[in-house]
Structure 1
Amino acid sequence: MSTPSRAIAGLALAILTASVGTSAANVALPALVTAFTATPGQVQWVVIAYLLAITSVSVAAGSAGDRWGRRRVLLAGIALFTVGAAVGALAPSLVTLIIARAIQGFGAAIMTALPLALAKDLVANGRTGRIMGLLGTTSAVGTALGPALGGVLVGWGGWASPFWMMALLGATALPFALMVPSARTIARPRHRFDAVGNVLLSAGIATYALALTAPVPNWPTGPLLIGAAALVIGFLAVERRADAPVFPPAMLRHRTIRTGMITNVLVATVMMTTLVVGPYALHDGLQLPLPLVGLVMSVGPVTSAISGVLAGRLVDRTSPPVMISLSLTILSIGTAALATLPAWWGVAGYVGALVILTPGYQLFLAANNTHTLGATDAEQRGTVAGALGLSRNLGLITGASAMAALYTSLTAGADTAASGSLDATRSTFLIATLLAAIAAVTSLLPSRALRATPRKEHP
């Protein structure tokens, strides 16, 4: 294997490890209830801590890569993830495990953001799409493998086994990541690190995520959302005066970046809707046994894995903006099919809709990442990659909370569970179709390239 190939393998393995880490621990939750004599609400913080951490520091992770070197920060992220996994496996208490998961999440934020920027540094423009497609495929494979491997390991070796697996994956990714060359275009600014901006942004994002996760009844969603808005406003005020802002507000004035982030949020919301509503639609609406629900749901990740690299090659051979519009059109058709076909054709209709939807999603990821990072000056590529990760995570959180709540509210008062589920599924996916259509319209707005933001220098 050549050095560039080993470097790409290192980036893919980092993303695979972080993706497995996102989903593998979930299957251990029932075992954690027994092991730590805890309630389901308490062990749910094992998931929430990871989610909050990976979301809140996404932009900071990319900005740190731009400042101190992307490979160096990536190696630190992998080490952080690995240590967090090992500490989690050895955790003597639930509190220790939750802290370990937060450490993992901080590492995973780096492992999902910086490989995108590093991949753009490694390959020529004509090959960027296929690399983005490969990384998207790796993410889908990791997400699909996580629950399956985690379930087998929990049954074989107890709740700690998935965490040992994640530690092993991290230790394996580290030597491959060492083969990734450092980008020569990284700037070495002399100004101070924007600590206040990083804290305000991370706190605002974490507060928003915390508001929507609602792990217990009567969760103060409203006050938390107000607090999140206040923190973000404070962040923007600080960034306007910062010598080296963690996320320059000027970036949002560039249509390429702004459009890429907006469509990323909307698409991630739609895709998370399929993951949180799909099981109920199949089990309650179509009366499918639980073992078969998992089998049908696996069609999505499998199709994503198959179509990811092909989508990347298509992006390289055509225009990324055109592919973005095409992918969002396919995505809209797929969500509309999810809203209508299951009621007509049952499970076959649901599977057919997934086969339409997921290639559209993979094409979007490859095209949007290629186009957005390609329009970014190399000096700020890590920051923009982090912003793309942030927007995706915000969409995932919104889909998991708001769209799930919408589905639940629509099933209330139904005559039967089956009819109520099918009606709620139809309405929820029609809303998702509207979101996909808004993303498609947004993608048609004209865009322009982002160049390095002028920086103030200290005398």
Structure 2
Amino acid sequence: MKQDSGPLWSKAVVLSIFQELEVREKNIDEQNIPWASFFCVALGVYMATLDGSIVAVALPSIRADFGARLGLIQWVLSIYMLVITGLLLAAGRVADIVGQKGVFLGGLSVFTAGSLLCAAAPTAVTLIVARGIQGIGGAMLMAAAPAIVTATFPPSHRGRGLGLTGTVVGLGLTTGPPLGGLLLDLLGWRAIFYINLPIGIGAVAYGLAKLPPLKFTKPGQRFDLSGTLLFSAACATLLTASSKMGEHGSSPPYLIFIVSAILFGGFVLREKRAADPLIRLSLFKNRRFTFALAASLLTFISGIVSILFLPFYLTGVVGLSTSTMGMVMMVTPLVMMSLAHWAGGLSDRIGYRLLTTTGLIIRAGAFVAFILIDPDSSLALTFAGLLLLGVGTAIFMSPNTSSVMGAVPPQMLGVAGSLTAVARNLGMALGVALGAAVFDIALVKAGGTSIGTASLSNHPAFMTGWRAAMGMALAVCLSSVVISHLRGKDPERSDN
């Protein structure tokens, strides 16, 4: 009996994979797929994702142009993440109150206006302010986009729609660095912001004509300003503390973490008492919703660790050039872009839990590969880890997001969509903090002084910190496997 029970689930996956890969998808009625709405969402998502990956490439040029110190220029990236994370939940709630279409198109407009201000910024400080304006628009986009896809795609194709959104995200991440380099060489750093103008204007015009109203909340709902301020402050302090944890040699910001925890506690108390809260805490009684968000948080905590330390390993220990290192790092987003649509469509047919859990097990294999790396390892082992990371993440992400969005009523889609983005951003922030702390502790114990120096001249100390950080990531990833499996059985599939 035991020998037969093991392959049953894997046999089901294999059969479903072959069915999904059939050229003729007889059960899908293309007339039910809202391609016009999706194309509008795709334009906005691509623009926001492209901007996030393209700006990092331009930081050295921006710094040189303004003659600003590195600590100030880093805020060009940091302010964007702070504003988005702090306002996501508020933007989701506004979308539920006034309608997803208005918030999404408003976000596109604000983001496009912010891009124009960035391109014309005369000083580093005005550029940072303009990036904050972009962050406001980005929060509105990220909160409303999954809600629009969930509301417009029929339930039987929801995973497919969210998977296609994941493909667009992968496209933005993949094309950002090479496009950014091309624009920098030809036109200078301001061009990376000007490129958003035609995309944004075109997307707004198209969305006004094609997007349906998408308003599900009854009139009379009020906006919870107190809850918004508490949540934004809690996220801002947590992200600030996490960034300081990543600074080698700085004292751990325990006090800031405590302040953040107090603010989050105050937010929960406020939501319990509010007549119209930002988020109804009763949502978290639904295991499919809560455990899916928890699995997502843990997934991003573990995933950011490899992204944080791989560049140091590839350039310092292996000796790759920066451009070659960038090409190696593109393996994971390319794989994710290729598989996200397929994984989302497959989840429409066989459910969420099996796919998400299987994807996370594959991701655990990636961290095992990274732990086995040493200074003399072939690059093939690194490629294997990046490949497994991309495959596992693609198989997990779209079905998991579909699980979250399918667990809430239509009037809460905006909040649910914003929470998926909050889990992603906070997961990455916590992953940086935990990864940096574990790496530094192990590095110092092995006789190292700094990550840059160790990667170049003290490989044993660097590899000690590397394995400690990757071991932490593996432990977090295995925890996410358990959490994903415990979400409970999938709901009955709908053909509508």
Give the AA of the match of 1:171.
I
Aligned partner (choices 164, 176, 180) of residue 194 of structure 2: 164
Give the AA of the match of 2:281.
P
Does residue 481 of structure 2 align to residue 440 of structure 1? Answer: yes
1:128-139 correspondence to structure 2 within 5 Å? 128-139=158-169
Does residue 141 of structure 2 align to residue 111 of structure 1? Answer: yes
Cα gap change, 1:310 to 1:5, in 2 (>3 Å): same
After the TM superposition, which parts of structure 1 deviate over 6 Å for at least 4 consecutive aligned residues? none
The offset of 1:251, in angstroms, is: 2.0
Aligned to 2:283: 251
Aligned partner (choices 312, 315, 321) of residue 347 of structure 2: 315
Cα gap change, 1:341 to 1:130, in 2 (>3 Å): farther
How many residues are matched?
Answer: 449
Aligned to 1:290: 322
SS at match of 2:195: helix
Gaps of 5+ in 1: 451-459
1:27-426 correspondence to structure 2 within 5 Å? 27-178=57-208, 179-183=210-214, 186-214=216-244, 218=250, 221-341=253-373, 345-412=377-444, 413-414=447-448, 416-426=457-467
Q: Which moved more, 1:423-432 or 1:33-42?
A: 423-432
CA contact (8 A) 1:286 1:346 kept: no
Give the AA of the match of 1:200.
L
Q: Which moved more, 1:59-68 or 1:399-408?
A: 399-408
Deviations 1:309-338 (A, max 9, x none): 111122122111221111111111222222
CA distance in 2, matches of 1:408, 1:145: 33
The offset of 1:198, in angstroms, is: 1.0
The offset of 1:345, in angstroms, is: 4.2
The offset of 1:418, in angstroms, is: 2.9
CA distance in 1, matches of 2:490, 2:335: 32
**Which of the pair has more CA radius of gyration?**
2
Does residue 470 of structure 2 align to residue 429 of structure 1? Answer: yes
Q: TM-score, normalised by structure 1?
A: 0.92
CA distance in 2, matches of 1:440, 1:448: 15
CA distance in 2, matches of 1:266, 1:76: 31
Give the AA of the match of 2:411.
E
CA distance in 2, matches of 1:448, 1:67: 31
Cα gap change, 1:295 to 1:408, in 2 (>3 Å): farther
Give the AA of the match of 2:474.
T
CA distance in 2, matches of 1:382, 1:234: 23
CA distance in 1, matches of 2:207, 2:174: 23
The offset of 1:373, in angstroms, is: 0.9
CA contact (8 A) 2:289 2:403 kept: no
CA distance in 1, matches of 2:222, 2:483: 36
Give the AA of the match of 1:389.
A
CA distance in 1, matches of 2:239, 2:489: 31
Deviations 1:200-234 (A, max 9, x none): 11111111112212397757822222221221111
CA distance in 1, matches of 2:254, 2:227: 24
CA contact (8 A) 1:254 1:448 kept: no
CA distance in 2, matches of 1:109, 1:267: 21
SS at match of 1:38: coil
CA distance in 1, matches of 2:172, 2:70: 25
The offset of 1:285, in angstroms, is: 2.8
CA contact (8 A) 1:82 1:104 kept: yes
The offset of 1:112, in angstroms, is: 1.8
SS at match of 1:10: helix
CA contact (8 A) 1:70 1:183 kept: yes
Aligned to 1:455: none
Deviations 1:29-65 (A, max 9, x none): 2122222221011111111100101111111111111
CA distance in 2, matches of 1:83, 1:76: 11
Cα gap change, 1:447 to 1:40, in 2 (>3 Å): same
CA distance in 1, matches of 2:466, 2:196: 35
CA contact (8 A) 1:285 1:422 kept: no
Q: Which moved more, 1:409-418 or 1:5-14?
A: 409-418
CA distance in 2, matches of 1:87, 1:257: 39
SS at match of 1:91: coil
Q: TM-score, normalised by structure 2?
A: 0.85
The offset of 1:150, in angstroms, is: 1.8
CA contact (8 A) 2:438 2:468 kept: no
Give the AA of the match of 1:268.
F
SS at match of 1:57: helix
Q: Which moved more, 1:335-344 or 1:112-121?
A: 335-344
The offset of 1:342, in angstroms, is: 5.8
CA contact (8 A) 1:12 1:135 kept: yes
CA distance in 2, matches of 1:176, 1:393: 29
Cα gap change, 1:308 to 1:435, in 2 (>3 Å): same
Gaps of 5+ in 2: 1-29, 449-453, 492-496
CA contact (8 A) 1:254 1:449 kept: no
CA distance in 1, matches of 2:36, 2:487: 37
CA distance in 2, matches of 1:144, 1:219: 35
CA distance in 1, matches of 2:232, 2:311: 32
Deviations 1:217-269 (A, max 9, x none): 75782222222122111111211111110012222232222212211111112
SS at match of 2:34: helix
SS at match of 2:399: helix
